[in-house]
Amino acid sequence: MPSPSNPATSPVLKDDLDIVIPTMRDLDFLEKWRPFFQPYHLIIVQDGDPAKKINIPEGFDYVLYNRNDINRILGPKSVSISFRDSSCRCFGYLMSKKKYVYTIDDDCFVASDPSGQKINAVEQHINNLLSPSTPFFFNTLYDPYRDGADFVRGYPFSLREGAPTAVSHGLWLNIPDYDSPTRLVKPHERNTRYVDAVLTVPKGSLFSMSGMNLAFNRELIGPAMYFGSFGEGQSIGRYEDMWAGWCVKVICDHMGYGVKTGLPYVWHSKASNPFANLKNEYQGIYFQEEMIPFFESVRFPKEYTTIEQCYTELSKQVHEKLGKVDPYYAKLADSMATWIEAWVELNPTSI
Amino acid sequence: MPSPSNPATSPVLKDDLDIVIPTMRDLDFLEKWRPFFQPYHLIIVQDGDPAKKINIPEGFDYVLYNRNDINRILGPKSVSISFRDSSCRCFGYLMSKKKYVYTIDDDCFVASDPSGQKINAVEQHINNLLSPSTPFFFNTLYDPYRDGADFVRGYPFSLREGAPTAVSHGLWLNIPDYDSPTRLVKPHERNTRYVDAVLTVPKGSLFSMSGMNLAFNRELIGPAMYFGSFGEGQSIGRYEDMWAGWCVKVICDHMGYGVKTGLPYVWHSKASNPFANLKNEYQGIYFQEEMIPFFESVRFPKEYTTIEQCYTELSKQVHEKLGKVDPYYAKLADSMATWIEAWVELNPTSI
């Protein structure tokens, strides 16, 4: 990984990346991120009671949106931004006009690599997004574009230019992103293993995309990065980032874009309450067994070349195929359609 | 990883695993492996002039086969075992009667992990083979069965039992397994990155399987582990392990078996001559652009439930589809058919 002190190999992209943070509380965690986040513009999306005042440490360049702002800006389309879950970050994706977005949860702190060096998560995500992906053939030495690595023998030469990278999914030291049953069974498990790798999730494979530490190329995939309606008043919770990940992955597979996972790590400080989570998740745990085969079966017409086309088609397929499983999906499909309308309205030239 | 000193968590399987070593020279490298290899039976397959005497350090339990033995045992079917490349190791797979095989090149030595501890490659391969794989959904925290790891949120519960593991593909520190063009361009590149991970190559993805440091479940996949005819007198070389890997992977995908890659590392001491390799490889570099789309298109009838059925069918498809590209493939397809006949003859109850 390039050193932050070497500008030649350290693309800062400070005018091309927004950091989107959903929160319900004072953002003291930003103090820890100051050396890495301060050059960037922050988009803070306040969940919960808009009357509550959130403290933000001085010296950051930010804009803060609360529910009143969302309602005012989106009008009737604001129903697509759900409440009391982490989905409200999507509003930040809508409002950003930058090429890249990094989103992070406010319980994630700066991790250290095995040498004790603090990890600049933004820089690693940028490196991941600026170098190609390898979705069409698995490279056993991981990211072939990294210093000291390359394509191994047997890797087809015609594929060595790689594919544009749409998503960089980072990981977590300390508290891993487990579901509530796993947390209930293993309350004390901590992730202490630093795996020094970035790799591309192969074409045709689904994965779990956590929203805690996630960057993406908004120009390539922004309109599909919708975290759905899994918040207050819905029968299913804690699936917002998973849902987005499956939507994004099937669309990336169609478009020939890559999705990377691995470095950078952040330090995830606290697990949410597994008892409360179980209540939110349990319906999803059933539903998921239907969702995965559905996403595995999704195909788009060859002539679809925009994210908007694919996403609109996906919302129709959700309505038609998953709507039979539970009426909840019909509502979700409607939210997806509304989201795309909102995206087009606020980003008329992007898609 | 379990410690070698803890028998409860350290499955030795000394009566269930053979170590297969193809060679043309004295096996002094075994001295370095003595603490790890001595408990096992070695099958040494001598390539080149059978009159040459090969020295093997004392104290190892081994059998040595040379070309005369191969001809005597296989008769006319010995044409399937090629010469002057690493494919002769396949004869060891045929002769083994064990459940597991580990094969290693004689220029691979014991590597150390970042803490300086010598890596017991056999033990790690056994761990990989004894624990399930996850080919149907990508787990972002890598091997979920490893101590300190698990399935992440969003991983379908119905898939958490995993799939039987057929192959464990280990990696190399020092000299990476590059093709000759890459070596010519980067003669001094060394692999110094220890990535502390084992992962499953997802279903539907092809990868480069190197034969240098490779273990497999012979009962599950042995008949497909054929390194082809890429040796003396053939128009294409240095593709024997790659070819085997693609055959194995498409058959594992059909059978629902897993292929793992990652740990353990060995220390690969010397690169073969990139100028000589280029001569052997160059035809393959062209051919490969036909091979990969071919393997991507391979499908087997649903009712095929044995490796023999799949492999016989594969040899027919190679003849029919790749035979058009070059007559070399027709010969290769014939060798594949002969190999399967030899396997059935020597292992009548295994398939």
Tell whether B346 is covered by a domain: yes
- Nearest-CA neighbor of A178 among A238, A110, A259? A238
Q: What is the pLDDT of residues A15-47, one digit of tens each?
A: 999 999 999 999 999 999 999 999 999 999 999
What pLDDT, on the 0 to 100 scale, is given for residue A108? Answer: 97
Of B150, B152, B157, the CB nearest to A285: B157
Instruction: Quote the minimal CA–CA distance from A262 to chain B in Å.
Output: 7
Q: What is the pLDDT of residues B228-284, one digit of tens each?
A: 887 666 767 778 999 999 999 999 999 999 999 999 999 999 867 888 888 877 888
User: Is A138 within 8 Å of B201 when comparing Cβ atoms?
Assistant: yes
CB-based contacts of B214: which residues, under 8 Å, 6+ apart? B102, B103, B104, B167, B168, B169, B170, B241
Q: Are B201 and B249 in contact (CB under 8 A)?
A: yes
Q: What is the largest CA-CA distance in chain A?
A: 60
Token pair in block for residue A44? 């803070």
User: Is A153 within 8 Å of B179 when comparing Cβ atoms?
Assistant: yes
User: Is B139 within 8 Å of A207 when comparing Cβ atoms?
Assistant: yes
Q: What is the mean pLDDT of residues B191-213?
A: 98
Q: How many domains does chain B have?
A: 1
Count of beta carbons in the 10 Å neighbourhood of residue A248: 23
Is the pLDDT at A229 greater than 90? The verdict is no
ipTM value: 0.94
Range of the domain at A87: 17-350
Tell whether A27 is covered by a domain: yes
C-alpha to C-alpha distance for A210 and A34, rounded to whole angstroms: 23
Tell whether A264 is covered by a domain: yes
Token pair in block for residue B228? 């082809």
Is the pLDDT at B22 greater than 70? The verdict is yes
User: Is B292 within 8 Å of A157 when comparing Cβ atoms?
Assistant: no
A289 vs B contacts (CB less than 8 Å) = 156-158
What pLDDT, on the 0 to 100 scale, is given for residue A280? Answer: 79
Q: What is the mean pLDDT of residues A262-272?
A: 91
Q: What is the pLDDT of residues A299-344, one digit of tens each?
A: 999 999 999 999 999 999 999 999 988 888 999 999 999 999 999 9
C-alpha A31 chain-centroid distance: 23
User: Is A208 within 8 Å of B152 when comparing Cβ atoms?
Assistant: yes
Instruction: Quote the minimal CA–CA distance from A136 to chain B in Å.
Output: 7
* Burial (CB count <10 Å: 0-12, 13-18, 19+), residue A208: buried
- Nearest-CA neighbor of B153 among A326, A196, A271, A147? A271
What pLDDT, on the 0 to 100 scale, is given for residue B5? Answer: 42
A138 vs B contacts (CB less than 8 Å) = 201-202, 205-208, 261
Tell whether A10 is covered by a domain: no
Give me the percent of chain A exceeding a pLDDT of 70.
Answer: 95
Q: What is the pLDDT of residues A297-310, one digit of tens each?
A: 999 999 999 999 99
Instruction: Quote the minimal CA–CA distance from A18 to chain B in Å.
Output: 25
Tell whether A306 is covered by a domain: yes
Instruction: Quote the minimal CA–CA distance from B289 to chain A in Å.
Output: 6
What pLDDT, on the 0 to 100 scale, is given for residue B231? Answer: 67
- Across B21-30, B126-135, B194-203, B272-281, least confident range: B272-281
Q: What is the pLDDT of residues A71-107, one digit of tens each?
A: 999 999 999 998 888 889 999 999 999 999 999 999 9
C-alpha to C-alpha distance for B78 and B95, rounded to whole angstroms: 13
Q: What is the pLDDT of residues A202-221, one digit of tens each?
A: 999 999 999 999 999 999 99
Tell whether B252 is covered by a domain: yes
Tell whether A148 is covered by a domain: yes
Beta bridge partners of B101: B18, B216
Tell whether A152 is covered by a domain: yes
User: Is B156 within 8 Å of A292 when comparing Cβ atoms?
Assistant: yes
What pLDDT, on the 0 to 100 scale, is given for residue A283? Answer: 82
User: Is A157 within 8 Å of B201 when comparing Cβ atoms?
Assistant: no
CATH number at residue A228: 3.90.550
What pLDDT, on the 0 to 100 scale, is given for residue A1? Answer: 39
